[in-house]
Structures are given as C-alpha cells and as structure tokens.
Amino acid sequence: MLSIWTRLLLVVASFSFSLASSFGISQEILSVDDPCAGIGGKKWVSPGDVRRCFESFPVDPKVKANIIEVVNKTLAFHTSVNYQVKAPEPFSSDVHEDVIGDLARISKQAYASDFDLHLDLSRTLKRLNDGHCVYINYCYDSLFVSYLPTPLVLLSDENGQQDVYIAPEAFTVVSEEFPDQIDYWENVLPEHLTLSTLSGAKVLMINGAYPFDAVNSNAAITGGYTGYGTRQNSFFSSYQLTDGGWNYVMGNFAQQSLPLYDSVNLTVMPVNSSDIMTVTLPYRARFGTTSLNFTDSASLLENNCRATNGTNGMDLHVSNEADLAEIFTVAGKFEQQPRISIGDARKHGTNVYMDVQPQTDVDLPEVLKPGKKPLNGSQGVAQFYMLDDGVTGVLALGSFSAESFDELQTSLIVGLTGLKSLGATQLVVDVTNNGGGFICIAHWLHRIISGPRSSTVPQAGLDTTTRAGPLARLIVKQVVSGTDVNASSSYNPTQWTFANHSRMSEGYDWMASPVRTVINSREDAFSQRLGQECQPFDMRPPAEALFNPKKVAIVSNGRCGSSCSLFSITMAKEDGAKTVVVGGNKEVPQQYCGTVGGQSTRFSHIDTEIKTAGLKNHSLAPPDFLTNSVQGITWRLGFGIWDTEEPEEWQSHPADYNLLLTNTTVNNPVAIWEAVVTEVLS
C-alpha cells in the first residue's frame, strides 16, 4: 500500500515538474533541479512541496544500516520488546508488534526514497503504542508541521448523542495563531463562507466517509498509548497546562508532523443551519519551531539531518558539562515536559512521554482559560484554584517535571495545604495531556495527598525491574569495578534498593543473577525486583493525609502517561481515587492513563553508559547515530498492583467515568471541573 502511494506521488511530482518546465519559469526550473530550494527560508509552504523535497533524498545504504543497527541494539535495553510481540488481554488487539522482526524486514526492503524508509521505521515503532519507545528523526519529523484551520472535537447534544464537530473555538484559535494564513484558507472557501462560520459546525463526513473512519485510521497509526479509546482521543483538540501557560492542542486531525496530506474534504452543517455543504480545506505547512534554517537540499541535510553534539552519548571521563548539556537539550526536544535544569536532569530519574513533535505553543483562547486567580503555591505546570462551591480545590498539573525539582515539590505542598486551609474537603486533579516527568514527584504527590499508609510508605509508586541483557550486565560489572567515578551511572547499585526497599551497597553486582523468563515464547532476562528509591524525601511530608483519596477525582483526556500513570494508578487502584476521562467515545472503554513504564530514557543516555564503561567496542554496543535521530526506550518497567508479578503496563486502567463533553464544556477547564464535581464528587 505504501509503495502504491509513493508511486502515485512520484507520478504527480514528475507531471507538475514537466508542466513547470514547459512554461519555462526559471524559478520553477530551479526547483525541478532542487525540490528543496523552493521551501527553504519560507515560513509557510504547501505540504506537497515539503513532500517532494523529502522524497528527493535517496536511501543511502550505509546510513540505513546505521539507523537499523543503532535502533536494534538500543532495543536490547528496552524492557518491553518481547511483551509487545503480543500484549496480554485486554490489549492483545492493541499491541502485537514484533519490532525486531520488522527491523529485519526493513533492512531487506527497498524504498523509493529515504523519506519512505523513515515513514516505515517511524510507524513500525509507533505500532508498539508505547510513548517511551519512539523513533524520531529531526530531519523529517516536524521539520514542517501541517495545519488545518478546523480542529475537531467530539461533543454530545441534549439527547446524549455524540457527533464530531469543528471546535466552537476554532476560529478564535486560528486567528490568534495563524493570522497570516486566514486569507489563504478563506480564498479557497465558497463565496458566502468564512472560516468563522465553520466554527462549531457538525461534521457529517470527512473525505466522503463517516468521521469515525478518519478517527480510527488515525488511531491505527498515531502510537503512544495502548488504549484504543485514548488513541481515538488523540484526533481531537484539547488543552494542556505548560510552564508557559494554558496551551491549545490542535489534535492529530488539524496538526500533523509529516507532510502526507494536501487537503481534506469536510461535509458539514453549520451552527443554526440545516444546510449541508462540502468544503475542501488545504493543509498548510509551517516551518517547525525547533528546525534550523536552510536554503536548499544541501543545507537542509547539513543543518537538520546529521548527528549533532547531543545525538550520541559521551565518555564522562573525557567530556565537559557543556557537552553533557547538549545531550539533554537535543534528545529532549520532543519530550512532553518543560526543560529541566541539567543538575536535576542528572540527579532525578524521569518517566516521560515522547512525541514526534515538540510541545505545542498555541495559546488556549482567553475566554476558555480559568478566569480565577491561581492560589498560593501556583507556579508553571502546577496551578491551584478553589471552585465557587467553597469545598472543591483544584490542582491543574500539566507535568511532573519543572525546571527545578525542589520548586515543584514545594509548590505541591504549599498549594495543597493552602487549599485545605481555605476549606477544601475534596480535590480535582486535572492531568490532561500530562506526559509525566520526575518519578519522585509522582511518589511525593501520592504521599502528601493520601498521607502515610501502606500504599505510600515506603513505596508510593511501583516496584520495578530493568532488562538484563548481556551488555547491561557487563556495564554493571564495569561500574562496580570502578569506572563510575562520580556515582552518576544509572547502573550504579547505590542508586537502587532491594525489593525490601533497603539500599544496595557500593560494589554490589546487582545483575549477577538475572531473573530468566520466557515471554511470548521468547527467552528474556531481567534484574532482580527493585524497590523504591524516592524516600526519605528531601522535604518532610505532612504527618496526615491532606485529602481523603476517595474524595479525589483524577481527570484527563486519557493522555496521562509515564509518571502521570504512576501517580494515577497508585491513587486509584490502592487508595480509591475516582478516575474520569473527558470526551471519550461512549461506545469504547476508556483507559484513564497509559505508557506506564517505570523509568524512560533514550539512546544518548544508554550510549553514555556504554562509553563511560569502556564498552563501546563490544559487538553488542550500538554505533553512533549518523543521523539527527533519537530512540526512546522504557528502561525500567513497573510491577502491577492487582497482579503484582506482571507489569502494570498491560493491566487495565478503566476510567470510572467518561464525562461527555458539550459545546459549553469542551476545552473549558473550569466548566469541566464543575461538571466533574456534579457528576463524580457529589
């Protein structure tokens, strides 16, 4: 199917080139010679032009072999490879990807262009539906981002019937974010129509088919979350609290990281009208916020496609702090969390979702932002509010990371204590699009809300295990024999505790006797069970629970990943907190979180471990990436709560409530919190 699509595009491309040459337009002829010259230095272009540029790069067999070797050998450190060959129920139909087998297929397969190769690789990794194990190549992913002016939402009407609509706020968002493209889009609309008349319209068909056909096609390739409902939700717009304020997330329909589509046909019925009309809207591609300027193919490749200082790891014996900083900034570009200070990034493990695009910088419209003044303790990703009922406090938490670990930890205790002193007896925690962050902040938040009890002391999160492949075991041997002079290795025993939570001692080879197991008929090996490493906390937690966990509602669009999962799962499964998904398809079971993991990391970090341990020459060590690529992995996997001997990752997390959205609550945080109080906490 891919190759037919490619061939079609090539036919279209060569047709338009010959047309251009026959008109003898020199500019066009220039771009026939170099299809990337025409898009260099431009802010807005058409996705087709970006695609023709990308497709002009042939596969370089040496580079292809390099990418596959790095990814393959890095996956030896990903805990979930064999589980993901076929996940247990209820996820067996969601996750069934033999990624090692597919890499072998890809290495044999021929591709019309390097871009086609990238698409296959990227989608292969995405089929794991694991937001930690993602392959990114900054040469293509979000170099340009394609947009439509019509983000969609799933709303229910007064009869409880759910339909797809253009977001009521669509025009407000677009006129603030893309003022320079409004004319372009309006010029292609029929005479009597403006973009503003489309806001709030009911969508009857997308490209001539039922809207959910498009929702489901996207769910099949978007990746990131195991739950089908969660991947459906990715299609729709939503909001996110970032360290820069309340942002608008366009959703996969209106925002795409690759230039695959030129336009879309929408059959709609505008607000207060019974007219049915079909409009064709072109995607417009905007130069990415983290992409580097170029003028032609050569400079595009040079500036955006080759490995940079932060792409690969480094031997800590010979590197300086500035080089180290590059590793965190380059590989972390598309992580869904604020930038972390280097000190904290090295000191505190994270469990964080990675996407094929950077965090959005589109503003949530002013009318939808909470109008109330944030209360004491509020800072960046953590904002506290009191609802008008005088008994419901709200913690809006956009991430478990912040630039400073200590400040976020302080903010959470000050904010929640403040709410309690104002009379809050129940709590809404809004973690919409929260991609995780610091592991120990998840433990801290659980501990301070629920108080000291068997589910929080000493372990407020999940016990974990890491993969014990031959190279990982050798790293531990090197570390305990003295290569890790500053005790900064993730393989240093002093970082970890036994299953009974007592600290391992220096020099102890904790991987000497791995736990051998068979998963999906494949042999595997893991470390002994690890206990918690967060307590005692640097800060003293309160002696009593701040809230009754049964009076806590954890609310999101299901896109609560990594450390957000650690927090939500332990609160819900152990302490009885209520879980609420907003806006899910009511016919599909909704998971309140996903991409659980235990700790995530990526190639540059593993490569640093390998180089510092003096093992880069080992046959199992991945070479350096030649390309501007990132490979993320789950490095530790959490054990379950209901089934304590199996990973939590593929145990179900059914939401207690699916709060349907209406045209008055959609993308309006305060309206959603009030609806949660009425439907869940009253």
Among 10, 13, 30, 68, binds ligand NAG (CB under 6 A): 68
Name which of 500 and 521 has its Cβ closer to ligand NAG.
500
For the CA atoms of 196, 200, 205, 207, what is the dihedral angle to 10 degrees?
Answer: 40
Element (H, E) at 260: none
Q: 3-class SS at 165?
A: strand
Piece of 3-11, 250-258, 456-464, 482-490 that binds ligand NAG (CB under 6 A): 482-490
Nearest to 593 by CA among 448, 384, 375, 432: 432
Give the binding range for ligand NAG (CB under 6 A) out of 54-62, 78-86, 249-257, 415-423. Answer: 415-423
What x/- string results for residues 132 through 161 when contact with ligand NAG is judged by CB under 6 A? -------------------------xx---
Contact mark string toward ligand NAG, 22..41, x via CB under 6 A? -------------------x
Choosing from 21, 309, 505, 517, the residue that interacts with ligand NAG (CB under 6 A) is 309
- For residue 329, give the amino acid letter: T
430 touches 558 (CB < 8 A): no
Nearer to ligand NAG, 104 or 298 (CB): 104
Which residues are CB-contacts of 336 (< 8 A; sequence separation ≥ 6)? 352, 353, 354, 355, 359, 399, 433, 435, 436, 561
Say whether 653 sits in a helix, a strand or coil.
Answer: coil
Choose, by CB under 6 A, the member of 184, 193, 616, 680 that binds ligand NAG. 616
Q: Identify whether the C-beta of residue 467 lies closer than 8 Å to the C-beta of residue 606.
A: no
Nearer to ligand NAG, 410 or 663 (CB): 663
Q: Which of 274, 521, 617, 619 binds ligand NAG (CB under 6 A)?
A: 617
| Residue closer to ligand NAG, measured from CB, 336 or 535 | 535
Q: Is residue 269 within 8 Å of 248, Cβ to Cβ?
A: no
CB of residue 417 to ligand NAG, shortest distance in Å: 8
Q: Which of 6, 341, 404, 663 binds ligand NAG (CB under 6 A)?
A: 663
Report whether 528 contacts 541 (CB < 8 A).
no
Give φ, ψ of 663 to 5 degrees. -70, -5
Q: Which of 6, 56, 107, 495 touches ligand NAG (CB under 6 A)?
A: 107
Query: Is residue 308 part of the contact set for ligand NAG (CB under 6 A)?
Result: yes
For residue 365, give both structure tokens: 């419209």
200 touches ligand NAG (CB under 6 A): yes
Quick one: 271 or 680, whose CB is closer to ligand NAG? 271
Please give the backbone phi and psi of residue 529, each rounded to the nearest 5 degrees, phi first: -65, 135
By the rule CB under 6 A, 487 interacts with ligand NAG: no
The CB-of-547 to ligand NAG minimum distance in angstroms stands at 16
The residues facing 284 across adjacent strands are 147
As separate numbers, helices (DSSP H) first and strands (DSSP E) second, the chain gives 21, 25
How far apart are the C-alpha atoms of 227 and 649, rounded to whole Å?
11
Out of 3, 18, 93, 265, point to the residue binding ligand NAG (CB under 6 A): 265
Q: Does 453 bind ligand NAG (CB under 6 A)?
A: no
Which of 22, 26, 187, 272 is the binder for ligand NAG (CB under 6 A)? 272
Q: Which of 90, 245, 374, 418 binds ligand NAG (CB under 6 A)?
A: 418
Given candidates 15, 33, 317, 361, which one binds ligand NAG under the rule CB under 6 A? Answer: 317
Does residue number 422 form part of the binding site for ligand NAG (CB under 6 A)? yes
Return the closest-CA partner of residue 252 out of 290, 190, 206, 197. 206
The one segment of 22-30, 335-343, 443-451, 481-489 that binds ligand NAG by CB under 6 A: 481-489
Comparison of 158 and 645: residue with beta carbon closer to ligand NAG: 158
Smaller CB separation from ligand NAG, 109 or 548:
109
3-state DSSP assignment of residue 181: helix
Q: How many CB atoms lie within 10 A of CB 72?
A: 16
Closer Cβ to ligand NAG, 280 or 517, answer by number:
280
Whole-number minimum distance, CB 530 to ligand NAG, in Å? 11
Q: Is 502 one of the binding residues for ligand NAG (CB under 6 A)?
A: yes
d(CA 292, CA 273): 46
Amino acid (1-letter code) at residue 578: K
From the CB of 61, what's the least distance to ligand NAG, in Å? 14
CB of 418 to ligand NAG, least distance (A): 4
Number of residues that bind ligand NAG (CB under 6 A): 38
What DSSP state is assigned to residue 295?
Answer: S
Q: How many CA atoms lie within 13 A of 99 on its CB side?
A: 30
Identity of the residue, 292 or 656, whose beta carbon is nearer to ligand NAG in the bound complex: 292
In the list 26, 187, 454, 500, the residue contacting ligand NAG (rule: CB under 6 A) is 500
Comparing CA positions, the residue from 139, 197, 101 lying closest to residue 628 is 139
Residue 173 CB burial class (10 angstroms; 0-12, 13-18, ≥19)? buried
How many Å apart are CA 638 and CA 648, to the nearest integer? Answer: 6
Q: How far apart are CA 356 and CA 241, in angstroms?
A: 19
* Per-residue tokens: 505: 């001692």
Give the strand pairing for 277-282 and 263-269.
antiparallel
Site string for ligand NAG, 531-570 (x = CB under 6 A): ----------------------------------------
For ligand NAG, give the closer residue by CB, 18 or 309: 309
CA dihedral 501, 561, 608, 408 (to 10 degrees): -70
Handedness of CA 356, 357, 359, 365 (dihedral sign): negative
Is there binding between residue 271 and ligand NAG (CB under 6 A)? yes
Using CB under 6 A as the binding rule, whether residue 522 contacts ligand NAG is answered as no
Q: List C-alpha distances in Å: 167 to 180, 214, 250.
A: 20, 16, 10
d(CA 431, CA 429): 6
Query: Using alpha carbons only, how large is the chain's radius of gyration in Å?
Result: 25
What's the one-letter identity of residue 672? I
How many CB atoms are closer than 10 A to CB 395? 24
Binding residue for ligand NAG, selected from 9, 67, 81, 103, defined by CB under 6 A? 103
525 binds ligand NAG (CB under 6 A): no
Residue 485 within binding range of ligand NAG, rule CB under 6 A: yes
**CA-based torsion, 398, 404, 407, 412: positive or negative:** positive
194 part of the interface to ligand NAG, by CB under 6 A: no
- Residue (530 or 554) nearer to ligand NAG, CB: 530
**How far apart are CB 616 and ligand NAG at their closest, in Å?**
5
* Segment interacting with ligand NAG (CB under 6 A) among 101-109, 333-341, 579-587, 645-653: 101-109
Asked if 571 and 447 count as a contact pair (C-beta separation under 8 A), the reply is no
Site for ligand NAG in 372-391 (CB under 6 A): 376
Report the residue number, 104 or 221, with the smaller CB distance to ligand NAG: 104
Q: Could you tell me the smallest distance in angstroms from the CB atom of residue 113 to ligand NAG?
A: 20
Binding site for ligand NAG (CB under 6 A): 41, 68, 72, 76, 100, 103-104, 107, 157-158, 168, 200, 207, 263-265, 271-272, 280, 293, 308-309, 316-317, 376, 418, 421-422, 485-486, 488, 498, 500, 502, 614, 616-617, 663
